[in-house]
Amino acid sequence: MDFKNLDALPSFREFAALKPSKLKDNLSQSRIENSHIRVGGGVSYNYAALPVDKTHIEVFKKIAKEQQLIAKYMALLSGERMNTGENRLVLHQLTRGETLSKVEADGEDKGAFYASQLAKIKTLSTQIREGKMVGSTGKPFKTVVQIGIGGSDLGPRAIYLALKGYCVGKNRPMLDAQFISNVDPDDAANVIKGMDFETTLFILVSKSGTTQETLTNRDLVLAALQSTKIPGFDASQHMIAVTSKTSPLAQTKTLRDAIFFDDYIGGRYSVSSPVGGTIISIALGFDIFEEFLAGAHEEDLNALSADITQNAAMMDAMIGVYMRNVLGYSATAVLPYSQAMSRFPAHLQQLDMESNGKHVNRDGQPIHYQTGPLVFGEPGTNGQHSFYQWLHQGTDIVPLQFIGFIQNQRGEDLSVDGSTSQVKLNANLTAQIVAFALGKSDENPNKEFEGERCSSLLYAKQLTPEAMGAILAHYENKIMFQGFIWNINSFDQEGVQLGKKLAKKVLSGCDGDENLLTYHALLSE
Amino acid sequence: MDFKNLDALPSFREFAALKPSKLKDNLSQSRIENSHIRVGGGVSYNYAALPVDKTHIEVFKKIAKEQQLIAKYMALLSGERMNTGENRLVLHQLTRGETLSKVEADGEDKGAFYASQLAKIKTLSTQIREGKMVGSTGKPFKTVVQIGIGGSDLGPRAIYLALKGYCVGKNRPMLDAQFISNVDPDDAANVIKGMDFETTLFILVSKSGTTQETLTNRDLVLAALQSTKIPGFDASQHMIAVTSKTSPLAQTKTLRDAIFFDDYIGGRYSVSSPVGGTIISIALGFDIFEEFLAGAHEEDLNALSADITQNAAMMDAMIGVYMRNVLGYSATAVLPYSQAMSRFPAHLQQLDMESNGKHVNRDGQPIHYQTGPLVFGEPGTNGQHSFYQWLHQGTDIVPLQFIGFIQNQRGEDLSVDGSTSQVKLNANLTAQIVAFALGKSDENPNKEFEGERCSSLLYAKQLTPEAMGAILAHYENKIMFQGFIWNINSFDQEGVQLGKKLAKKVLSGCDGDENLLTYHALLSE
């Protein structure tokens, strides 16, 4: 494989010279109908309202070939050390199923290792849900609380919220899931206030077993558990860990059980590993998590297609790079028309910005183009009453990523004024795509819309576990392809180290640093 | 008063030529200690880590004078029709107390009108909290649910979440508050599932009384209420409205009561009106809401200072414009180190982006400079494990707005490894300010931090109701001043109209529009 910077590719000049396809001239029934790619899990990707046409796609094919996107993806799947900064394998796709061949590392079949932990989750979650594994006073568990931050929080929380309503709609038995993440002590206090500890299981999640926030919150929770005066209550029977085999957490004797993952699963890519799997399986059921994995695995396979018109993740990636580096758009909005996906934009914000917010290439050399965009978003129609004014009439153009579903999850709806809420929701989504794309002229400039605000659409019949898995994998793989295109390492995060180091310095007295001392004084009693 | 575009001011060239103050050269104990402005409610604003020094401030003073910022603010407070697009007064500050003189409009003393509605909230909330006003079956109310969207949702929700922990810390009696906003039927279904309707009061909030989402959710909730088979249950005794006197909602006979506000309170500026006041007073207590108003009023008065070094809102506004238009930073991040403020960034996103996301000036003429930035954020330390990588080492610079508090709200904390969680939280905040500002050089470019990532800090002893009120007013007034500087109307939102219109068109059959028809078909059964 060749690793070249984007601007060193033979076709880069041609790529950089591409003029945007004007939506006002080109959006049409046939364009919409012909701009589909199957994602997996019943999800489709539509790129009709993005500023590209056949000319662009021909150049994209050259870039994809020159940058060897599929070869690099296959190398990653095969266990090459694509995380150059940390010299690690990148194996999150393997948690959803084998794609190419077995991956051996550290003298172990990694696929078999992940499968063994998945089997452990199956047993554990089934025993809990069937009331065979119970709390220390003999009561069945009703609540499960994840203690973790960043990748151990955002993804699992987003997916739990996304699939909870689906399970309610199917009338499935469920445990309540809660999350404690922030080192702010008010976060844990809020979650555990009034909680019935006898029926609660805590899951500590930290790969290294050294995350400051998580260990601190573990101790806060343990103190609360140990202060209960319930006869026979034993805190150690109410806590399990998800961590790496070699971490200090794995050695803790006061835990009821531990499930393992390893350094080859990045935090932000760990939703489909035990980090997400344990809590989803306990709260919603192991079969739900299996369906989620199946949807993700289907998209992982689709992402192997060398034909960009059949590879949604690659197409989305390439158009994103075009809009970032050629059209100069520096941000992108994720707009799910589904309240269940309320925290998915926050997860995607981490996934994308932590992966591709890089200023050096994979070999640590400076690069001379912009990398990952700013990612933000809120569910529609809520966002329409918030920042859409800025999107429609502000002075910047931000590409939009709409997500929509034909049916709701909970099955409760009502027809008001001739249409159900679900139909109104999707009428708004349809309207926004077209309003952003085409705009409207008006004699009064204050009522004029320039249009050419481009958008994509991911959509499915319903937000099922398979659909959610496919959407997640779509974004993970899109971000991976973008990292390959930019020739950066999407799998390390050196940018978070300096803050950690200085925080330790503050806690140990600031070591004479006048700036730290002065700010610290402002924020101290 | 003169209304000129920013680039038509005599000092604009001087403003545009200002070079940024380098933090690596200038950040110091004395700079930090001398860059304070009192906001109100015990909150201070520190701008030491922003790229400005005395030279900049001298030019800012000229711009402030030439653009007549204080005269315009006073005109607004006095009842001039500063909302030019809609030809309306702008009176949200008046809901916190009179500032200059009485405001007469529509043959009415508006201050007296707002005070009368506040008095009504006092009576209503006190009766509910004392169990004197009860549900239709004689049970006291325990839960209050706001049905509203946009300004009727984001601000009240953010403030309720921000002050709930404060009330828990004080051991005050509380009602649970919930919110239904999205037209997605799963939103309402999730909130009302398993709810005890006998002890629940719903508040319908819509100024016009015609908001599609809110009326639809009202009907969804009414259908659920009316299907209860509890003897003696009467749905009309469980619903009140917050609306304008002339709205269709105000005429509804099936409501238990109505509290009024008017067209001079913009939705996104309505937190201190009955839109926020009713639910905050019922859930947390009228005295809490009064303290919140007092904090906001104090900042409204401080914002009257013509001396920018004594006027935090004006300083924040001016530095923001400098960073947007001269340094070219197109986004800004709001980073409260307080889990209680988890939804404040979403409120601020609406407040700022809907107000200043404009492409024409207040007279409807095109302008040739950027206006309001993209606003996003999540609480720290959570964000540190998410998008901070991008902020530290990405290819764009985004100015940061930190918010911090010396004490937590709930009073529960534990010392682990020699420090409490609250101290760890603030050590992280201190560390981040300095890490972003100064960076770190390293032989390995992947571990290098360029620094010069600028930030401001709003801080107080605790997140009290007064502090929250002052922080809210600080941002409202900052945004107002920025609107004056850019010569735009920060109080209308014509950019949301086209989407509404097209959504209606979709619901009535698309009227032959092929794009609407095709997208609609994708999203229909």
For A23-43, the pLDDT digits (tens) are 999 999 999 999 999 999 999
Tell which residue, B191, B224, B197, B179, has the closest CA to residue B139: B197
Residues 6+ apart with CB under 8 A from A191: A145, A178, A179, A180
ipTM passes above 0.90: yes
B219, B380, B449 ranked by CB distance to A498: nearest: B449
CATH of B128-291, one of 3.40.50.720, 2.60.120.10, 3.30.470.20, 3.40.50.10490: 3.40.50.10490
| HSE toward the beta carbon, residue B28, CA cutoff 13 A | 8
Q: Does A410 touch chain B (CB under 8 A)?
A: yes
Angle at B296 between CA B291 and CA B300, to 5 degrees: 145
Tell which residue, B483, B494, B486, has the closest CA to residue B73: B483
Place of tokens 């996003």: B376
What integer pLDDT is reported at residue A252 of this predicted model?
84
- Does residue B500 have an active-site annotation? yes
The reply to whether residue B433 touches residue A519, judged by beta carbons under 8 angstroms, is yes
Identity at A173, one-letter amino acid code: P
Architecture of domain A10-93+304-492 in this structure: 3-Layer(aba) Sandwich (3.40)
Q: pLDDT tens, A237-258?
A: 999 999 999 999 988 888 999 9
Low-confidence ranges of chain A (pLDDT < 70): none
Residues A422, A380: contact at Cβ < 8 Å? Answer: no
Residues A417, A400: contact at Cβ < 8 Å? Answer: no
B193, B371, B416 ranked by CB distance to A216: nearest: B416
- pTM of the complete model: 0.98
**Cα distance between residue A382 and residue A468, in whole Å:** 21
The reply to whether residue B430 touches residue A150, judged by beta carbons under 8 angstroms, is no
| HSE toward the beta carbon, residue B243, CA cutoff 13 A | 26
B406, B409, B413 ranked by CB distance to A523: nearest: B406
What integer pLDDT is reported at residue A235 of this predicted model?
95
Q: Around Cβ B441, how many Cβ atoms within 10 Å?
A: 10
What integer pLDDT is reported at residue A253 of this predicted model?
82
| HSE toward the beta carbon, residue A417, CA cutoff 13 A | 15
The reply to whether residue B518 touches residue A33, judged by beta carbons under 8 angstroms, is yes
What integer pLDDT is reported at residue A298 of this predicted model?
98
Domain B12-73+293-492 has CATH 3.30.930.10: no
Do B12-73+293-492 and B128-291 fold alike per CATH? yes
Q: Among residues 30-69 of chain A, which lie with CB inside 8 Å of chain B? A: 32-33, 46
Which residues on A lie below 8 Å from B220 (Cβ)? 412-414, 416, 421
Low-confidence ranges of chain B (pLDDT < 70): none
Which residues on B lie below 8 Å from A337 (Cβ)? 184
Q: Residues in chain B, how many?
A: 525
- CA B16 to chain centroid, in Å, comes to 29
- Does residue A86 have an active-site annotation? no
Residues A379, A342: contact at Cβ < 8 Å? Answer: yes
B28, B153, B416 ranked by CB distance to A219: nearest: B416
Name beta bridge partners: B112: none
The catalytic residue among B19, B22, B139, B500 is B500
Domain limits, chain A: 10-93+304-492, 103-291, 495-525
Residue of B nearest to A517 (CA): B29
The pair of three-digit structure tokens given for residue B448, joined into one six-digit string:
């290098």
Task: Enumerate the H helices of B357-487 as residue ranges.
Answer: 388-393, 421-438, 465-486
Q: pLDDT tens, B66-109?
A: 999 999 999 999 999 999 999 999 999 999 999 998 999 999 99
What integer pLDDT is reported at residue A310 of this predicted model?
98
Which residues on B lie below 8 Å from A153 (Cβ)? 382, 385
Q: Does B521 touch chain A (CB under 8 A)?
A: no
B150, B375, B430 ranked by CB distance to A516: nearest: B430
DSSP 8-class letter at A256: S
What integer pLDDT is reported at residue B524 of this predicted model?
95
Residues A96, A473: contact at Cβ < 8 Å? Answer: yes
Which residues on B lie below 8 Å from A450 (Cβ)? 359
Tell which residue, A347, A503, A396, has the closest CA to residue B378: A347
**Do you find a cis peptide bond into A216, omega within 30 degrees of 0?**
no
Q: Does B191 touch chain A (CB under 8 A)?
A: no
**DSSP assignments along B501-515, one per residue:** HHHHHHHTTGGG-HH
- Does residue B102 have an active-site annotation? no
Q: pLDDT tens, A100-128?
A: 989 999 999 999 999 999 999 999 999 99
Please identify, in words, the CATH class of the domain defined by A103-291.
alpha beta
Residues 6+ apart with CB under 8 A from B323: B50, B51, B329, B332, B399, B454
Q: Among residues 138-157 of chain B, which lie with CB inside 8 Å of chain A? A: 149-151, 153-154
The catalytic residue among B213, B298, B354, B466 is B354
